Structures are given as C-alpha cells and as structure tokens.
Structure 1
Amino acid sequence: MSATTAERPVHLDRGVSVAPTTPRTTRPTVRRCVAASATIGLAAGLLAAGVAPTASAAPTDDLASRFTFAVLPDTQFYSRYSADQFVPRYGTDPFATQTRWIADNADELRIPFTAHLGDIVDRATVENEWKAADAAMKVLDDADAPYSILPGNHDVTNSGVRDTELNHASEPFTTWFGAARAAEQSTYRGSDPTGLSQFHIFEAEGQQFMSLAIAWNSSDATLAWAQGVLDAHPTVPVILSSHALINVAADQASPIETGDSERMWDELIRGNDQIFMTLNGHFHGATRQVKKNDFGHDVHQVLMDYQMAYEGGNGYLGLFEFDLTNNTISLETGSPWVVSKPQESLTSYDQPLLDGEHQRYAIDIDFRSRFAGFAPDFTAGSADEPSLTQRAREILLDGFDGPDPISTELPGNELDFVEAEGTLAHWRFNGLEGVVDADTVVEDVAGDNDLTRPDPATTDAVGATWDDVTIETSDVHGFSSDGAAACFDDSSGSRFSYLTTAPDAAVNDADLSKGYTIETFVKMDSDWDASANGWSKFLTRTGNRSQIGVPQTRWDWTASPTALGISNLREFQFTSISDDVLAGDKTNWSGEIMVDSWAHVAVVNDPATRSTTMYVDGAPVLRNATDTAGMARQDGMPWILGADWVDDAARNGWHGCIGETRIIDRPTTPDEWLTQRADLSGFEVTDAPQSELASTVTSVRFAGTGFPGAEVSLAPVAGLAAIAADLDGATTTVDDAGRWEIRVTDGLTSGPHEIALSQSLGSRSSAAQTVSFAIAAAPGTPTPSSSATPSATPRPSGSGAPAASGTSGLATTGVDGALIGWGAALGGVLLVAGGALAAARIRRTSKV
C-alpha cells in the first residue's frame, strides 16, 4: 500500500454477505470444511469463490520427498491494530497467531523456512507497531524456526528514496530486524551494507535452497550485492523475495508488470538461472505469471497480499509444498487466525482456506532438469512423506465449525425489501428513464424528501451538461430491489452534477442524536482515475463545519459535516462530525474497492456503544470510528447525491453510479438492510367457504391478510368439474392496510373443491395455503366424484398442492364481476409453482 492514514479503530460485528452486480450461483456453507470466501469488492475483491472438499486422510502409498515453504504476506494492519483492536477483542492478533501456528506445525508439515514479504508495520515511526511485530516474529525465534524478513514501503521512514539514501543506522527496520537479529538464526549468511536486505541458506530433503530477501526500492548497489551473493553460491537454487514486483489487474486475476518487476528482471533475475521463483506482496490481491529467463527456463513469479481483505488480511498465509519426487510445487492459502476465533465472532468472510485460481494451485517443475545447469547433483530426498498439503488442510479444518449460513434471496420485484422503522428518506430510481433533467423527480418513497437536479448552468461545475446524469436499469446491484440507478458521467473535481433535497425538506434538519443508519449501492466507473476522481463523494449532508462550532483544523474545516465517498486509493471513506462538535472529525475507512463493481455500503452509528461502523457488502471494515454518537448538522442545508460540498459549494463529482439510498434515524442490524427480502410468511386466509355449501349458493368469498402490494393468487387444485383454458386465474392485490379479498360469483359447480392461495412479489412467492369445501348437488343431480375432502378451515400446504383432476367439460365463474375460467386458474397455480421453483433455483446463500 502506498499511503498511510490516521488511526481509526474497529468495531466488529456480524455481517451478511451480499453479491455485487448481476446474480451468479453461489454455494452454501459447508460446516467444518469450508475453504473459500465470497468476493470483497464488496470488502476488497481479494477472495475467490468456491467450496473446498472435505479434508480426508492421504493414501498411505502416496509417499514422496516433500517439504513446506511458508510465506507471510503484508502484516501491516495486524501490527497497527494489535494493541487497541485485536488484543482487547481476541487476546492476540493475526500476526502472532500465524507465527505460533507455523512454529507449532513446523515438524509435522516439514517447514524448514518462512519468508516475510514486507510491510511488517503500517507506520514506520510508531513504536507500538514494531513491538507487536517483534512479539509475533519472536515466536519463530524462540522455536528455532528460521525466516527471512525485508522492509516494505511502510517499514522505512522515506519510501520515496532508494535504500542506500536512507539513514539505515537509525531506520526502525534495522533496529528491530537488522543483521544482528538475523545473525541469531542458523540459516543466516549475510546482509547488504544497509542491513535492509539479507540472505539465508536452508536445507530441505538433503538439498540446499537460498532465500534472497531484497529491500523496498533497492538501489543499483543493492542489486550488485545480490549478484555477488549469487556468484558466491552458484549451485544453490534461489527463491527471491521483495516487497513489490508484479502487480494484479482490476479483474483481480491477471498479472501486470511494474517498473520494479521489469528492472529486477532485467538486472538480476533473467541472467541468473538459479532464481526459479519470486515472491512479492504490496499490490492488493493474488496472481502469478511464468517468464522464460536467458537460459530458456521458467521463472515462477507469485504475488500474495491480503491486507485489504477483511480484518486486514484475516490471517491468510501461503504454504508452498515442494514435492521433489513428483516434481510439483503446490500452494495452499490458509488462515490459522480464522480457525482460532470464537464461533460467535465469525462472519461470512471467515473461511479457513481459499480455493481461488491464484490461491490454490500446483506448478509442474522437473527439479532435476530445471536445476541441471547449475546444480547437476540435485536429487530428491527419501520418499517418506505423505501429502503435506493435505495434512495442512486437515490441521486447519480440525474442529473448525464455520459461520452459520444466512440465506439471501434475489428480489422478486421492486417491492421486495424490508421496510425499516424510523426511515427518514428512501430514494429510489425505478420508473425513471433516460436523462435526469429539470423535470425529473427522484421519489422519496418514505416521505416528502424528493430529489431533483439543479441546472448545471446554475452551479460552479465546469462543462457539465444535462446528459451527464442518466438512469441505468441493465447494470445494477443484484440485491437491490429497486432495479435502477443514477449514473454520473464525465465527473471530476471541477465537473460535477448532483441531486438535492429541497431547501425545506424535513430530512435536512433531521435529529440523528439517537444514532442512524445510512445505506446505499454504489459503483465506480470503469475508467475511474485517482487523479481526477479521488476524494469524490456520493452522499453528502451539506453545510460548513467552520460555521457549526468545529475547532479549526488543517484539513476539511470548511467541508460538509458528513460525507461518504472514495479516497485516492479507492477506499470508501465516511467522515462525520458527531453531536459533540468539539470532538472534531470521526472517520471510517474501507479496504480497496474495485472499479466497475457494485457494492452495498451501510454506515451504522450506535450511541450506546459510541461507535460508527461501516459495512461493505455486509462485512464490517477494519478501520472504524469510536467515541462518536449522533451526527451534527447545519440547519436548513440539504442532502445531496453525486458530489462533495466544500467552501459552501458543490465540487468533486462522483464518477460512477448510485443506487437506492436510505437514511434511518437509529442503528440497525443486517436483517433490516436493503439487501434482505420482504417477509412473505405472514400471509393468512382468514375468511373462506367451509364444509358443504347449499346447492343454491351463488357466491363464495376468500379474504385475509398479507404483505401490502403483494399479488394474491387463487387457483383450484383438485375437484374441478370444468376448466376454461383461455381465461386468467383469480388474483387481487393486498391493500395498504394489509388486507385482501377475492369474491367468486355465478356458475359455481356442485361437488368438492380444493383451492390454493398464495401471495407473491414478482418471482418470489409464499407457501400456498389450501381451502377445501364442497357445494351440494341440486336435488336429483348426481354428485361429481373427487378425492378432495372438505375441510372446515384453511390449511397450509407446505409441499405444494395436489394435481388437479376432473378437467372435462366447461364451466365459468365470475370473480369480482369478471368471468374467470377454473382451468386458466389452474394454469395460474402452475405458473405460481413454476415461479416458486425458479426462485428456489436462484436462491442465494451467504454466510454470516
């Protein structure tokens, strides 16, 4: 990571995992053996989806010459938040848990060596962070478990200069992890003159390997030192580690060359056949590539960095199994931290193993052939080890009871969301289309706080036109029932557009002293650029901090009291002044957010805990605000969507889309959020025909309660005397008071009848309830035979209604004055059943 931010503590809570953008199939939690994670686009886009197979014992005849090389990617946030977040909550931190697990399992997994990839701490000048890192790595020291370690950009006092330009004698890295400490390890062979780079030679399976650890922003002198090391040990295979080499593309899969990777390749790697593998962190994600060196041999380059994932990386480390017999190197990415957490603290992002494309794989490498040019005597050791990869998985999964799953369904229609008590404003875009112009009104479905768009000519925007804001319906967040969004194009610091509440809107002066919840769906455009679009906002409570008593600060003193937006590093930032304006700004930060990917963002302020927690796609971010309650305001100032507000005017337009947005005057929990579905289980039939009715009956009534706006369908499922296939089934809509009624008149046939009733919101339906009754035959008329049994009261049908029978002849009935065919009604119930089946097939399951 290339920049630092101020201290922002975390408030951990359980989250609900939701999927971005379009629906895609996911699989349910497999308790005790789950090994994948949902994408964190939603919380950083670093974890690939998939479910691991249950761990099982390796075949006894699968013995080979094997060892495990362990890798610790960026630990900066573990060190930063150890003392004030992790230890108070868990009694330890992920960093110390990682090293303890390596030490405890070094013998069983045959781990001769561990490599740390840099960014040991987040802020090089903060001693407490070094103390946390020191305590974690001391576990390996005490266990005589050798390791290499190198400084990343966060571990040096000036990351903008070459390593030789630093005052290395006073650098914190050399104080805590310099040559003197490294020399205590049996594998240590030397350091460069700065003390920032080092090399080790370790033995595994009777063969020697080198770990060559090169510092951040290495100079030509350091690369010359590294060349000298290689020249002095010409027969030793080398794993080169450095903090920054290859990068990963926005698709979180494709590798990208960088200036560091190209320079290191040209000046050191390609010309030294000994270097067969490189490892780096720094860039947020995981990827790999293979390049041919000057000898025509493969060099495997691997990126591994999880710092922007949940809880600063959630304790994920790399375990490379070297199988010298079968000529493979296989990677497992696992988290000892996840399996050590209390069950009640687990979220959907707590998966012990990751099975993504670049998180679990095998590399084919003929070691003897690959090393023949410089180590012709290289051979495998004794074939006496079972699969270490399998054993690592078994150790991690042993006794682990994964997070309980929460089923989250896709919305059936635009009404399929949970209405939350205390909603002050809920802006939705469905029903709108085209350009958002002066006549467009974005309705507040919860009150009278509609949004409109100011004429660009009346703002300070440079070059903005009406065409800059349009309504999008084809690409929206999959779990937003709104089905539409406003998209802001060609935005920058000076070119912007925004939607605003009216000057007299009630929400402008809303009192949020008892807490609040802000929810929205947002997406950055695919061509989002940090220089043009960094620090832009998508939701702002306008005003001027300097005019409401906030003490003068160096930054943002004339900014709005509250704003939610994106940093120049693509981190969601929520900045707000609490009720206590003298306490100043309180800020939340997410991990890195991917462009062109929808995210659900919820910000929850709870005065009872004096905390504000930001959730991205259901997961709480690591850097949250504490000692905060409520929200300050400047009376009469509107809320806006699409821009920031500084110096009493809009600026910094949002370059991307904004979906439905809601403000609630209290803290909420995930079960109340817009990603959840309306409760259809309350459907009731309270009035229906019973038992046997007289032959003279000409009208029957069905009535009950349901979800306002839901469609109630009535269809006969048995005992049909006749059908009419060209007529629709009987339906009605639940009114605003939650009541519904269907009345059938005229032409009722004699005999038994069984009627199925259910309510639905589009494709999502409640379980059907059935009503059985009969109509007596007129004197002298034979009673039609049927298997249906009249019942005195409606009864639920949990597994579906029985198939229809008695489908000959023709008879029609009127429903609320209209002529309805029983057979078409049967078609209606089949459609309802088909819809329910389709809903079941697309049921999304996430884990909390």
Structure 2
Amino acid sequence: MHLHVINYQNRFFGGGAMIRLYHFDLARNTIDVETVNPWILAQDPKSRSALAAEHTRITGPVDDFSIPIDFEKRFSGFIPVPVRPARPAGRLLVKGTAAYWRFDGQGAPGTALAAGQKVRDLSGKGNDLTVVALPGTAADALTWSDDHHPDQPGHGSLTFAGGRGPVHGAYLTTAADAPLNTEAFKGGYTIETFVRMPLDWDAGRNGNASVLSRRGAAGAAGKHGRNTDPNEPLAQLNITNNGREVQFNHYPLNTTYPTTNWSHGLAELKWWHLAVVNDGRYTRLYVEGSPVADDPKRLSNGLSSLGLPWLVGGHEYAGAIDVVFHGGVGEIRIVNRPLAQREFLTAE
C-alpha cells in the first residue's frame, strides 16, 4: 500500500491550482509521479514572475518520483489476464504460405527431440524439418516447451541449449530437396517467428546465433562489395552480441552486397514477435508489430539462393555450423508475399 498526503495551500499563491499526476506505465511496471501547475504553464513565460516560474513544475524528491509495481501480480486476485486461446493451424495458412512450422502438441514439455526426429511443414509444401545434433551435444540440448508468446497461435515452442566455445547444441534443417531451398521470393516475402532469451544468455557464447538462416556462403553465390563477408550465410535472422539486437542480414538478388536491418535490444525472459517484410523493393523489420528505426532505404529484391537448406536454430560460417541458438523459438511462418501488420500471426 502506498499512501500519499499532499497539501499545496502553503505554496506560492495558495498552490495556484497545482496538481499531481500519476502515470501508470504497464509496460515498465512503474508509476511515474509529477507535480505541475497548469495555471502557470498556461501563462506566457515572459509574463511569469520569478516565483511563478519556480512553481511551473516541482521537481523535489517528494514531488517527482517513480514507484515500481508489478501490476499483473498486484491485480491478479481480481482482474485475471485472459489467456488467448490457441488457434488451429489451418487459419494461419494464408495465401502464399511457403512454410509453417509449429511446435505445439508434439511432445511433453521438457522432453527432448532426438536426432533425426521430424517436424512437419503444416503448409503442405513438403518443407519438413529434421533435428541434427552436433557431436558431443547433451541429450536435452533441444526440448519441447509449452511456453509461448501471449498472442502466438500455437501454444508451444522449442528450447535450444546451444552456443559456441566450443560449438554445441541441436538445430533443425529442411531436406536437401525441399522446395523452400530454391525459393527466390522475387515478388516479396514475410518471415515471422517468436523468440525468448533466458537470463544466462551471454554475448560471447550466444551472440550472432540464428533463429532462422539460409545455408550457402555469400562468396560462393558471387557476392562481393561493401559489408560483404564471403563466408557468411545468404540470409540470417540473428540475435546479435551487441545488446541482444535483432539483425536480419540478407543478400538480395539485385545486389552483390548485403542489406541489414537492425532492431533495438531485446530484454530477456520475454517473448518477442519478429517479422521481416519485403514488398519486392524494400525490407522492413518489425518487433511486436512496430517497425524498427534501422530499416535501410536500399532496394532489396528477393533472396539469393544456392539451393541449400534452411536452418532453424543453426548458423553456418565458411561451410560449417559455428554457433547454435540459445533460448526459446516459437512457431515460424514464411509467406511468399508481403503481409500487412493486420495479417501477422499475432493479429490473426
């Protein structure tokens, strides 16, 4: 219980209609308190007396402060947060769906996926995933989970316990002959997924690991020029070692060098919805349905391909897996056209 007793009568001009404002920030779990005088603020600053100018805003420690509060916990007893029900996969197979992988209802939470185990492509296009475990990897390096983003259609995810130094973990791959491998997405595309980083996420061990990537080195595809690393994959959706920022680095068909989209840093222990949308000309990255600031205004048509598989949770460098993702990955949908925000998985 927080009790605040306020008396402005002994201040300049009897308080002069001074008020205290409480701003409830549900995202930050914080109540921000400020004390202002609207009557004085409405006056022309040039006409204010010295005392009036001092009392436009009161910024002492008892008048301008913040109170941390866990709103969900505080009100859980009588205002329960409604749980959004799961939605059947068929509702999410929008026009142009090239691949749709969900991780719900296929294994008990906490149980491991074995090497060779398959996750079916629900689009019906034949882009099934197969589990690959690196030598020496623990048996529980990849497990089923019922944890998920609140707006995720499928109530399940995969937990990856991977990293580098040395590289370890298990990831998933499309087959060598999967149709998705050769898809160039000349008319645009949308890639969506959900991610969550644990508290033990470490920039050195886990940074620059891919949630989703396309095998094939840039140099082998004839890519060169500014910012080009000839050994990096042709497309990679990563969580970088620079403050857990999302990076979508890709080599379009129309250039020999990459286009890179960046987000702000993402907090641990929170599920995030990520979406990459290309309209045939420009590529945009969205976090929780909001466009990021660092979307380059560079023509970017399609995705270059060497006909090699896509990886979920694996990142290849110079032809070998160099790091495996560490954290949770929710369902993934790839569509061969740009989707509007109202069509995202979180909105359906």
TM interval, shorter chain, is 0.7 to 0.9
- What is the root-mean-square deviation of aligned Cα atoms in Å? 3.5
Pairing 1:478–2:150 present: yes
Pairing 1:663–2:340 present: no
Residue 541 of structure 1 aligns with an amino acid whose one-letter code is R
Pairing 1:438–2:115 present: yes
1:330 alignment partner, one of 41, 64, 67: 64
Tell me the distance in 2 between the aligned counterparts of 1:538 and 1:476: 15
TM-superposition CA deviations, 1:194-236 (whole Å, max 9, x none): xxxxxxxxx964999xxxxxxxxxxxxxxxxxxxxxxxxxxxx
Pairing 1:541–2:214 present: yes
Pairing 1:497–2:182 present: no
Pairing 1:574–2:248 present: yes
Residue 201 of structure 2 aligns with an amino acid whose one-letter code is W
Answer whether contact 2:133 2:169 (CA < 8 A) is retained.
Answer: no
- The residue number in structure 1 matching 2:103 is 429
Answer whether contact 2:30 2:68 (CA < 8 A) is retained.
Answer: no
2:322 alignment partner, one of 605, 630, 651: 651
- The residue number in structure 1 matching 2:129 is 451
Q: Helix, strand or coil: the match of 1:561?
A: strand
The change in CA–CA distance for 1:67 and 1:110 in structure 2 (over 3 A counts) is: farther
Tell me the distance in 2 between the aligned counterparts of 1:536 and 1:357: 33
The change in CA–CA distance for 1:37 and 1:420 in structure 2 (over 3 A counts) is: farther
Answer whether contact 1:409 1:676 (CA < 8 A) is retained.
Answer: no
TM-superposition CA deviations, 1:123-165 (whole Å, max 9, x none): xxxxxxxxxxxxxxxxxxxx9xxxxxxxxxxxxxxxxxxxxxx
- The residue number in structure 2 matching 1:791 is none
Tell me by how many angstroms 1:552 deviates: 4.4
- Higher strand content, 1 or 2: 2
The change in CA–CA distance for 1:495 and 1:555 in structure 2 (over 3 A counts) is: farther
Answer whether contact 1:418 1:672 (CA < 8 A) is retained.
Answer: no
Tell me the distance in 2 between the aligned counterparts of 1:628 and 1:37: 38
Tell me the distance in 1 between the aligned counterparts of 2:266 and 2:322: 22
- The residue number in structure 2 matching 1:557 is 230
Tell me the distance in 2 between the aligned counterparts of 1:579 and 1:51: 49
Tell me the distance in 2 between the aligned counterparts of 1:667 and 1:488: 29
- The residue number in structure 1 matching 2:344 is 673
Residue 220 of structure 2 aligns with an amino acid whose one-letter code is Q
TM-superposition CA deviations, 1:33-63 (whole Å, max 9, x none): xx66663xxxxxxx448999xxxxxxxxxxx
- The residue number in structure 2 matching 1:600 is 273
- The residue number in structure 2 matching 1:623 is 294
Pairing 1:464–2:137 present: yes
Answer whether contact 1:604 1:668 (CA < 8 A) is retained.
Answer: yes
Aligned residues: 306
Tell me by how many angstroms 1:414 deviates: 3.9
Tell me the distance in 1 between the aligned counterparts of 2:43 and 2:207: 47
TM, length-normalised to structure 1: 0.33
- The residue number in structure 2 matching 1:6 is none
The change in CA–CA distance for 1:410 and 1:206 in structure 2 (over 3 A counts) is: closer
TM-superposition CA deviations, 1:363-401 (whole Å, max 9, x none): xxxxxxxxxxxxxxxxxxxxxxxxxxxxxxxxxxxxxxx
Tell me the distance in 1 between the aligned counterparts of 2:285 and 2:163: 25
Tell me the distance in 2 between the aligned counterparts of 1:535 and 1:612: 20
- The residue number in structure 2 matching 1:125 is none
Residue 298 of structure 2 aligns with an amino acid whose one-letter code is D
Tell me the distance in 2 between the aligned counterparts of 1:38 and 1:549: 49
Answer whether contact 2:221 2:306 (CA < 8 A) is retained.
Answer: no
Tell me the distance in 2 between the aligned counterparts of 1:564 and 1:431: 26
Identity fraction in percent: 31
Tell me the distance in 1 between the aligned counterparts of 2:24 and 2:285: 23
Answer whether contact 2:194 2:331 (CA < 8 A) is retained.
Answer: yes
Q: Helix, strand or coil: the match of 2:204?
A: helix
Answer whether contact 1:67 1:110 (CA < 8 A) is retained.
Answer: no
Answer whether contact 1:429 1:484 (CA < 8 A) is retained.
Answer: yes
Give 1:629-640 correspondences, 5 Å limit. Answer: 629-640=300-311
- Higher helix content, 1 or 2: 1
Residue 177 of structure 2 aligns with an amino acid whose one-letter code is D
Answer whether contact 2:207 2:244 (CA < 8 A) is retained.
Answer: yes
Residue 247 of structure 2 aligns with an amino acid whose one-letter code is Q
Higher alpha-carbon Rg? 1
Residue 420 of structure 1 aligns with an amino acid whose one-letter code is V
Q: Helix, strand or coil: the match of 1:542?
A: strand
Answer whether contact 1:67 1:205 (CA < 8 A) is retained.
Answer: no
Tell me by how many angstroms 1:471 deviates: 0.6
Answer whether contact 1:543 1:633 (CA < 8 A) is retained.
Answer: no
Tell me the distance in 2 between the aligned counterparts of 1:49 and 1:645: 42
TM-superposition CA deviations, 1:274-326 (whole Å, max 9, x none): xxxxxxxxxxxxxxxxxxxxxxxxxxxxxxxxxxxxxxxxxxxxx96247xxx
The change in CA–CA distance for 1:612 and 1:206 in structure 2 (over 3 A counts) is: closer
Tell me the distance in 1 between the aligned counterparts of 2:162 and 2:306: 32
Answer whether contact 2:193 2:275 (CA < 8 A) is retained.
Answer: yes
The change in CA–CA distance for 1:512 and 1:486 in structure 2 (over 3 A counts) is: same
Greater relative contact order, per chain length (Cα 8 Å cut-off, separation 6+) = 2
Q: Helix, strand or coil: the match of 1:526?
A: coil
Q: Helix, strand or coil: the match of 2:132?
A: coil
TM, length-normalised to structure 2: 0.77
Tell me by how many angstroms 1:630 deviates: 2.7
Pairing 1:529–2:194 present: no
Residue 205 of structure 2 aligns with an amino acid whose one-letter code is A
Q: Helix, strand or coil: the match of 2:200?
A: coil
Tell me the distance in 2 between the aligned counterparts of 1:490 and 1:448: 27
The change in CA–CA distance for 1:331 and 1:455 in structure 2 (over 3 A counts) is: closer
Tell me the distance in 1 between the aligned counterparts of 2:254 and 2:267: 34
Tell me the distance in 1 between the aligned counterparts of 2:177 and 2:137: 26
The change in CA–CA distance for 1:49 and 1:667 in structure 2 (over 3 A counts) is: farther
Residue 479 of structure 1 aligns with an amino acid whose one-letter code is D
Answer whether contact 2:220 2:230 (CA < 8 A) is retained.
Answer: no
The change in CA–CA distance for 1:489 and 1:552 in structure 2 (over 3 A counts) is: same
Tell me the distance in 2 between the aligned counterparts of 1:49 and 1:506: 49
Pairing 1:613–2:284 present: yes
Tell me the distance in 2 between the aligned counterparts of 1:509 and 1:205: 72
Answer whether contact 2:89 2:122 (CA < 8 A) is retained.
Answer: no
Tell me by how many angstroms 1:557 deviates: 2.4
Tell me the distance in 2 between the aligned counterparts of 1:667 and 1:206: 55
